[in-house]
Structure 1
Amino acid sequence: MSNVSMQSILATHLDHYRQHHTLTPQQARACHRIGLCRSAALGGEQVRCSQCDFEQYRYHSCRNRHCPQCQRNASETWSRQRTAQLLPVPYFHLVFTLPHQLNPWVDLHPEVIYRLLFQCVWSTLKTFANDPKRLDGDLGMIAVLHTWGQNLSRHIHLHCLIPGGAWNEETQQWHPAKSSYLFPVRALSRKFRGAMVNALRKSRQAQALHRLTDDKHFNDTLKQLMQTDWVVYTQANIQRPETIINYLARYTHKIAMDNHRLIDSDDQHVRFRYKDYRDHDKHKIMQLEHGEFIRRFLQHILPDGFMRIRHYGILANRCRQQRTDSIKHALAVTAELDVDTRDQDSPHSPAPIPPAATVCRCPRCKNGRLVIIATLLPQRRREGTD
């Protein structure tokens, strides 16, 4: 089995890449953290088996949101925290995609375009939900930004996980979704297109898109976009809670390239697996030169501090507990299912280590337990004290 990983590719080829390309500060920091992940530089613990003489060093992860080694645990922790927050209703999965004509603008103003995408998707869905002829209430949404396609190309889209209904605060009633696809896709697409184009115009007027200097090109692009159909995908409702949690885990902490998709790497190329959605979801293998592979990976590094997972409406952090309690009560959910789901950790705080992590089974004798016998300081700090 190949030992190729994103960490090993960057360690071997990033220096050469930097001779010909300039990294942004965000890209440089992400690459640096990925390179240190689960190494002595970050410290860790020394563990020993309680039955045999087996010992092992376990180093800390870098916890960078673009690191393939860290996101699996982050996904599992995030999903556990929200299992009890699920409402006893069907859920819907919607995807809003930005046209590829906007990709060059994203290169110049990523934070602005991404922020407008969140705002316009939510305003579109909120308008439909508040319509008395539709749901006549407040919607809830968990939105997750993805910027990539399976082949690492730029493909900006927003995954939206939405409870199937709306909450009317005045009547204290839950209005279930009437359609198996929540809202008409074509109508959503047109509303979203108009909202996004209008938001781009206003941002330009406010000088938020100041790096776009060609007025004619800007106006021509928006006119072309208004004449094309924008892609909005809606999946039929998801009924089973465990399936919803699987969706949460799958989309919330997914990154552009997972290590398990990497096949091998030689002196010239990297090969990885991908799914070709345009060819009936066939699984294929792509080969890229190292420089192009790194370039594609780095274009998905998000601006510092940008939140790629956001909660809206009845699922917004400030009111989620109160709203979900009211909805569960209105739906006559039993008291034992109505558990306290308040988050104790911020999105950026380290995930707590499960108690079992300190007593893992010994990989050698299979009988003993691994017990922490020493704490290893980060290598740089330890060397600085010598």
Structure 2
Amino acid sequence: MITLASVIDQFQDDFLSEYQNRLRPNQISALHAIKRCRTQMSPVMQVNCADCDYQTFVPHSCGHRNCPHCQHHDCQQWIERQVQRQVPADYFMNTFTLPAQLRPLAKQNPRLVYSMMFDCAWATLQSFSKNDKQLRGDAGAIAVLHTHSRELKYHPHIHVVMPAGIIDKTNKLWRTKQGKYLFHHKALAKVFRAKMLTRMSEEKPPFPAKIPKTWVVDCKFVGAGDKALIYLGRYLYRGVIREKDILSCIDGKVTYRYQDSKTKRYQTKTVPGADFLWLVLQHVLPKGFRRARNFGFLHPNSKRVIKLIHILLKFDPAKILRTLKPRPKFSCKCCGGAMIVGRRRIPRVEIMSQPVPTKMLEPRTVM
């Protein structure tokens, strides 16, 4: 399998010479972090067997949220937290897409535009929930920002998973809406557009010459919501491309595959190595910017409210948690026992006299 680190190692010089003037500091940091991930350049951690005296050193992962083989544990933890907040209601996936005419503005001011997208998407859904005849209350939502299409093109959009249920604070009621219809997508798009343009007039960024009258918002029924949350969680911290989708790296070009959103069939695309790295690194978010956010009664500060809903409605999200696969554990190569991390972030100079494997220890099932 071709790793992203090997592609960076091969084309880094060409990439920097061609795109140096377009790179932000956080993108350069991501480039260097992914290149060093789990290699002889990275620090190591010491792992010891709990059952025997076996000890070894393992290269550290870079931990960068754009690295395709890091942060799997963070993904699992995020999914578990969101599933624990599930409520007994039908769930919907609302997708708010930024028009092509505003994408250059988002590239120039990513922190500002992405923040406006989050705020306006939530304000739109909150207003619809309060005005809906069957709901008439405060909603809750889980929002995740994606900046790429499956082809790796720049395509900022926000997925918002929300239950068709609200909390009526005035009457202290839990109210739900039945059926596979939540809100009209064209009406959502009109309100989202109006709110975005209002915020832009307040912030006064450089407006494009033309702003389309019709924007795109999708509202899709997703059942109990657990599958939608797992789908978003799987791609939350793993970068924009899986390494198994990098098919070849020859003659100065990289070939990768992607799934066409309409036909659901895999397509391939071949681009110069430097251009491929730009396709990947253009999606690095500003430092400290939160890609996933919770709103309303699904906010982390509302744990007591969610717990009360679970008790009163006799809803147990633990049933769904039991279906999730547990994180694989390190296994001892000698006896098969569990390996425990003893020290972390050990500089290479301290263990130069001891062999360090170039790959992580493989999980092993002990019978």
With the shorter chain as reference, the TM-score category is 0.7 to 0.9
- State the match for 1:173 in structure 2: 173
Q: Within 2, Cα distance between the matches of 1:200 and 1:257?
A: 32
Offset at residue 300 of structure 1 (A): 0.4
CA contact (8 A) 1:144 1:251 kept: no
SS at match of 2:158: strand
User: How many pairs are equivalent?
Assistant: 343
Match of 2:19 among 4, 12, 21: 21
- Residues 54 and 332 in structure 2, CA contact (< 8 A), matched pair in contact too: no
How far apart, in 2, do the equivalents of 1:254 and 1:164 lie?
Answer: 29
Aligned AA (2:248): D
Equivalent residue for 2:233? Answer: 249
SS in 1 for 2:192: helix
The alpha-carbon distance between structure 1 residues 154 and 173, as it changes in their structure 2 partners (threshold 3 A), is: same
Q: Distance in 2 between matches of 1:298 and 1:121?
A: 26
Q: How big is the shift at 1:164? A: 2.0
Residues 196-239 of structure 1: CA deviation (Å, up to 9, x unaligned):
122212211xxxx2xx3xxxxx36323xx22xx21111221313
**Alignment partner, residue 303 of structure 2:** 321
CA distance in 1 between counterparts of 2:270 and 2:18 reads: 21
Partner residue of 2:337? 369
Q: Which residue of 2 aligns with 1:281?
A: 264
| 1:237 aligned residue | 222
TM-score of the superposed pair, with normalisation by structure 1? 0.80
* Matches of 2:351 and 2:72, distance apart in 1: 31
Q: Residues 45 and 59 of structure 1 are in contact (CA less than 8 Å); yes or no, is this contact kept in structure 2?
A: no
**Structure 2 residue 289 is the aligned partner of structure 1 residue 306:** yes
Structure 1's unaligned 5+ residue stretches are 213-217, 339-352
Contact 1:95 1:233 in 2 (8 A): yes
SS of 2:93's partner is strand
Please say if residues 102 and 208 of structure 2, whose CA atoms lie closer than 8 Å, have aligned partners that are also in contact.
no
Query: Equivalent residue for 1:348?
Result: none
Q: For residues 172 and 62 of structure 1, do their structure 2 counterparts lie closer, same or farther at Cα, with a shift above 3 Å needed? A: same
SS in 2 for 1:281: coil
Identity %: 28
Give the C-alpha shift of residue 126 in structure 1. 0.4
The DSSP-based 3-state class of the residue aligned with 1:21 is helix
Structure 2 gaps of 5+ residues are: 320-325, 353-367
CA 1:185/1:254 → structure 2, altered by over 3 Å: closer, same or farther? farther
CA RMSD of aligned residues (A): 2.9
Give the Å deviation of 1:61: 1.5
Structure 1 residues 245 and 107: alpha-carbon distance in aligned structure 2, compared to 1, 3 A threshold: closer
In structure 1, what residue type is equivalent to 2:218? Y
* 1:258 and 2:273 are equivalent in the alignment: no
- Residue 329 of structure 2 aligns with which residue? 357
Alpha-carbon offset, residue 327 of structure 1: 2.4
C-alpha separation between the residues in 1 aligned to 2:72 and 2:342? Answer: 26
C-alpha displacement at 1:122, in angstroms? 0.5
Look up the equivalent residue of 1:262 and give its one-letter code: I
The residue type paired with residue 275 of structure 1 is Q
